[in-house]
Amino acid sequence: MTVRVRFAPSPTGYLHIGSARTALFNYLYARHTGGKFLLRIEDTDLARSTEESTQSILQGLEWLGFAPDEEIVFQSDNADKHRAIALKLLEEGKAYRDFTPKEEKVEGSVKDAIKERARAAGDQKSMRDNPFRDITEVEAETRIANGEPFAIRLKVPMEGTTSFEDGVYGLQERDYAETEDLVLLRSDGHPLYNLAVVCDDIEMGITHVIRGQDHLTNTHKQILIYRALGVEPPTFAHLPLIMAPNKGKLSKRKHGEVVSMTTYRDAGFLAEAFRNFLALLGWSAGEEKEIYSLDELISKFSLEGIHRSNAVFNFTEGDARKWTDDKAMWMNAEYIRTMPLGDLLPHVKAELKSAKLWREEYEPDGRALVATVPSTESQAFEASTEIADRPEAIAIEPLEVGTYDWYIRTIDAIRSRFFTLKDFSSQGRAYFSEDFDFNHAAVEKNLKAFPELMEWLPELSMRFRHEFGNEGSLPFTEENIEGVIKAFTAEKGTKLGVIMNGARTLLTGVSVGPSMLTVFEIIGLQRTMVRLLGRIAWNQAEVVAE
RNA sequence: GUCCGGUUCGUCUAGGGGUUAGGACACCGCCCUUUCACGGCGGCAACACGGGUUCAAAUCCCGUACCGGAUACCA
């Protein structure tokens, strides 16, 4: 029997980080077993479901790369079938009509109201004492004739236990006494969650249900429905939950955008990096390794590797530097600086395009296209190493700014200190445009702290012109630049760092980046000379500093 | 309240009768670059508590505490 799993979000918000991980585990399990990964939108709560959040969820899944193997099922489309099944159970005496008037919606927290009601009932109350559980058909007919509304509840047997072997938590047992006669159909004829899920899972041929641990008790209820229907339940596996830093619930209301998948897409995260991070939240292959390609995750994934304890998604609210989990950020940076360059290029292109920094010269003759649209990972690697090898081979002569070769070398150089794709257009802006800002802290630390630089740096500009700017001069390459800079530094009797850091800030607007010699070279002689003169920059620095 | 589940460095985790309790992130230090948030090396830092079983318990059993989930005519 081939494995069929499903991810079944309810469209009442965007794709939550916990849901994303559930989707990931389902996806990995399907791929690992050669099964099918299906998607079902549980939009039976018309009041709360929105088209907007359905789209947001779909976008999140698309970004993560989890395309369903079959057509998407919308649960609300099956409401008639669910109703029919509830009626069938009623007919068979496995369900009954409950004429108890519907309770009014309570004010405030629903959760608290439920807790309060349960406490008030104490342990005296039996789950089987519904007065309508065993009324005669005649009485029921009379009430119906009187126009009394009724809900349909499952008639849970008086004695027994539901049990199942959970793929993660092991044997789970629950006495019938702990389970209420759950409502299948509302008095307005609307099918409820547990009924809808069971019916759809049966119809979709689901073999393994992998979902959050918060569904553990639902599973017992659902098994009761499977039994009433005479259908063998699928295998269940429940996942530990992802918690907020205070070990409480991670929610949009309390924590905002950090929990939404689209936030990470928009913040310049790579889907492969985020997937990798997510996979390690609650699962481990039992080895000392952090970076896993999707293929590796698929081949190593197993239910046995899933933990039973909840994991904290660690971030600091109000701290711009730690707005999301450190490890997620590190993982993204790690991918950006170590992944095959050819795989990174399309992402950088998209980022530069959206920042209006892209130039067609960066991708002539469809060269990058060939290298970056490989059909397998190994091909991607070959293609990208080929590209990555090029810069070194041609570094003997300075590259012409704005060319394909220059672009490749520049991206490869600057990616080493970047954390997100956004950095290519923000921190890296000075490489692609004359219109860039100066970081306040960098100006303070590297320029204003050394007033002499206001003289020295323009002087260095003239020195560069003298050394490299004439017919037959040495090429403006790292090795040659180093010689000139060192001599210049010695002349001024200052530390190399002062000159280097000052130049870095004047040239790039920031205080970090690749080796400064590399920066000089890829900024190029012309731009270096102009920027070192620094009129505009010093002026701007003043403005920014104030 | 009741039922279910959990508890190894700040966080993610490895280990599951004998380990100097390992790795990663974060943090700190040193080195490299007479420059930085790259890189290299190192440091800080954990078995919730109490009983038992055992020659030996972080590991097995029981209890306690704490945390989480569930307990809807929500999903």
pLDDT per residue as tens digits for the range A400-434: 898 999 999 999 999 999 999 999 999 999 999 99
**Average pLDDT for residues A153-174, to the nearest whole number?**
95
Q: Does A326 contact strand B, using a CB cutoff of 7 Å? A: yes
pLDDT per residue as tens digits for the range A75-94: 999 999 999 999 999 999 99
**Average pLDDT for residues A299-324, to the nearest whole number?**
94
Q: Does A280 contact strand B, using a CB cutoff of 7 Å? A: yes
Q: Does A441 contact strand B, using a CB cutoff of 7 Å? A: no
Q: Does A113 contact strand B, using a CB cutoff of 7 Å? A: no
**Average pLDDT for residues A198-219, to the nearest whole number?**
97
What is the C-alpha to C-alpha distance for residues A223 and A217, in angstroms, rounded to an integer?
A: 10
Q: Which residue is nearest to nucleotide B70 (CA to C1')?
A: A217
β-partners of residue A152 are A97, A185
What is the C-alpha to C-alpha distance for residues A136 and A138, in angstroms, rounded to an integer?
A: 5
Instruction: Flag whether pLDDT at A368 surpasses 60.
Output: no
List the A183-185 sheet strands across, edge first. Answer: A95-98, A151-154, A183-185
Q: What angle do CA A382, A388, A393 make, to 5 degrees?
A: 120
List the A73-74 sheet strands across, edge first. Answer: A73-74, A36-41, A4-7, A208-212, A235-239
Shortest CA–C1' contact from A212: which nucleotide? B69
Cβ neighbours of residue A165 closer than 8 Å, sequence gap 6 or more: A171, A172, A235
Q: Residue A369: its pLDDT value, please?
A: 44
Instruction: Flag whether pLDDT at A384 surpasses 70.
Output: no
* Nearest C-alpha neighbor of A272 from the set A332, A327, A337, A329: A332
Q: Residue A106: its pLDDT value, please?
A: 66
User: Which of helix, strand or coil describes residue A306?
Assistant: strand
* Nearest C-alpha neighbor of A348 from the set A261, A431, A276: A431
Shortest CA–C1' contact from A439: which nucleotide? B36
> Could you give the dihedral angle defined by the CA atoms of residues A141, A147, A153 and A155, in that order, rounded to the nearest 10 degrees?
-20
Beta carbons of A259 and A251 less than 8 angstroms apart: yes
**Average pLDDT for residues A108-127, to the nearest whole number?**
74
Q: Residue A374: its pLDDT value, please?
A: 32
**How far in angstroms lies nucleotide B28's C1' from the CA of residue A493?**
33
Distances (CA, A) of A231 to A185, A188, A205, A225: 20, 27, 11, 9
Q: Lowest mean pLDDT of A245-259, A324-338, A422-436, name the range.
A: A245-259
What is the C-alpha to C-alpha distance for residues A477 and A380, in angstroms, rounded to an integer?
A: 30
Cβ neighbours of residue A387 closer than 8 Å, sequence gap 6 or more: A341, A342, A345, A371, A408
What is the C-alpha to C-alpha distance for residues A36 and A425, in angstroms, rounded to an integer?
A: 39
pTM (predicted TM-score): 0.91
Shortest CA–C1' contact from A514: which nucleotide? B38
Cβ neighbours of residue A67 closer than 8 Å, sequence gap 6 or more: A61
| Long-range contacts from A440-443, C-beta under 8 angstroms, 24+ separation | A440/A544, A440/A545, A441/A511, A442/A504, A442/A505, A442/A509, A442/A510, A442/A511, A443/A505, A443/A541, A443/A544, A443/A545
Q: How confident is the model at residue A102 (pLDDT cuts 50, 70, 90)?
A: confident
Q: Which of residues 410-439 of A touch strand B (CB under 7 A)?
A: 416-417, 419, 427
Cβ neighbours of residue A545 closer than 8 Å, sequence gap 6 or more: A440, A443, A444, A448
Q: How confident is the model at residue A122 (pLDDT cuts 50, 70, 90)?
A: low
User: What does pLDDT average to over chain A?
Assistant: 89
Instruction: Flag whether pLDDT at A395 surpasses 70.
Output: no
Q: Residue A33: its pLDDT value, please?
A: 97
Q: What percent of chain A has pLDDT over 90?
A: 75
Instruction: Flag whether pLDDT at A390 surpasses 90.
Output: no
Active-site residues of A, by number, are 252
Dmax (CA) for chain A in angstroms is 109
Q: Residue A158: its pLDDT value, please?
A: 92
Instruction: Flag whether pLDDT at A541 surpasses 70.
Output: no
Measured from the Cβ of residue A526, the count of other Cβ atoms closer than 10 Å reads 13
Shortest CA–C1' contact from A195: which nucleotide? B75
Q: Which of residues 330-369 of A touch strand B (CB under 7 A)?
A: 330, 334, 337
Q: Residue A538: its pLDDT value, please?
A: 58
Select the more confidently predicted residue: A374 or A117. A117
Q: Token digits for A290? A: 């952090």
Measured from the Cβ of residue A486, the count of other Cβ atoms closer than 10 Å reads 12
Instruction: Flag whether pLDDT at A526 surpasses 70.
Output: yes
Q: What percent of chain A has pLDDT over 70?
A: 90
User: Which of helix, strand or coil describes residue A166?
Assistant: strand
Strand B nucleotides within a 7 Å radius of protein CB atoms: 1-8, 10-15, 22-26, 33-39, 67-75
**Average pLDDT for residues A22-40, to the nearest whole number?**
98
Q: Does A290 contact strand B, using a CB cutoff of 7 Å? A: yes
Measured from the Cβ of residue A421, the count of other Cβ atoms closer than 10 Å reads 22
**How far in angstroms lies nucleotide B43's C1' from the CA of residue A520?**
36
Shortest CA–C1' contact from A490: which nucleotide? B34
Cβ neighbours of residue A208 closer than 8 Å, sequence gap 6 or more: A3, A4, A5, A29, A35, A167, A234, A235, A236, A237
What is the C-alpha to C-alpha distance for residues A325 and A316, in angstroms, rounded to an integer?
A: 8
- The type of residue at A341 is L
Instruction: Flag whether pLDDT at A18 surpasses 70.
Output: yes
Helix axes A478-492 and A496-508, enclosed angle (nearest 10) = 120
Q: Residue A123: its pLDDT value, please?
A: 56
**Average pLDDT for residues A197-225, to the nearest whole number?**
97
Q: Lowest mean pLDDT of A4-18, A163-177, A362-376, A460-474, name the range.
A: A362-376
User: DSSP readout, A399-443?
Assistant: PPTTSHHHHHHHHHHHGGG-SSTHHHHTTTHHHH-S-----HHHH
Q: Token digits for A391? A: 């810069």
* Residue A280 DSSP one-character state: T
Q: Does A117 contact strand B, using a CB cutoff of 7 Å? A: yes
Calculate the CA A115 to chain-centre distance. 33
Q: Residue A379: its pLDDT value, please?
A: 34
Q: Does A485 contact strand B, using a CB cutoff of 7 Å? A: no
Shortest CA–C1' contact from A98: which nucleotide? B73
**Average pLDDT for residues A370-399, to the nearest whole number?**
42
Q: Which residue is nearest to nucleotide B72 (CA to C1')?
A: A114
Q: Residue A366: its pLDDT value, please?
A: 59
Q: Does A180 contact strand B, using a CB cutoff of 7 Å? A: yes
Q: Does A499 contact strand B, using a CB cutoff of 7 Å? A: no
Q: Token digits for A268? A: 């310049």
Q: Which residue is nearest to nucleotide B33 (CA to C1')?
A: A515
Instruction: Flag whether pLDDT at A382 surpasses 50.
Output: no
- The type of residue at A40 is R
Instruction: Flag whether pLDDT at A64 surpasses 90.
Output: yes
**How far in angstroms lies nucleotide B51's C1' from the CA of residue A281?**
34
Q: Does A174 contact strand B, using a CB cutoff of 7 Å? A: yes
Instruction: Flag whether pLDDT at A386 surpasses 50.
Output: no
**Average pLDDT for residues A203-220, to the nearest whole number?**
97
Q: Residue A520: its pLDDT value, please?
A: 96
**How far in angstroms lies nucleotide B52's C1' from the CA of residue A223?**
38
Q: Residue A387: its pLDDT value, please?
A: 42
Q: Does A215 contact strand B, using a CB cutoff of 7 Å? A: yes
Full 3-state SS string of A173-232: EEEHHHCCCCEEECCCCCECHHHHHHHHHHHCCCCEEEEEHHHHHHHHHHHHHHHHHCCC
Q: Does A370 contact strand B, using a CB cutoff of 7 Å? A: no
| ipTM for this prediction | 0.95
Q: Does A500 contact strand B, using a CB cutoff of 7 Å? A: yes
Shortest CA–C1' contact from A101: which nucleotide? B73
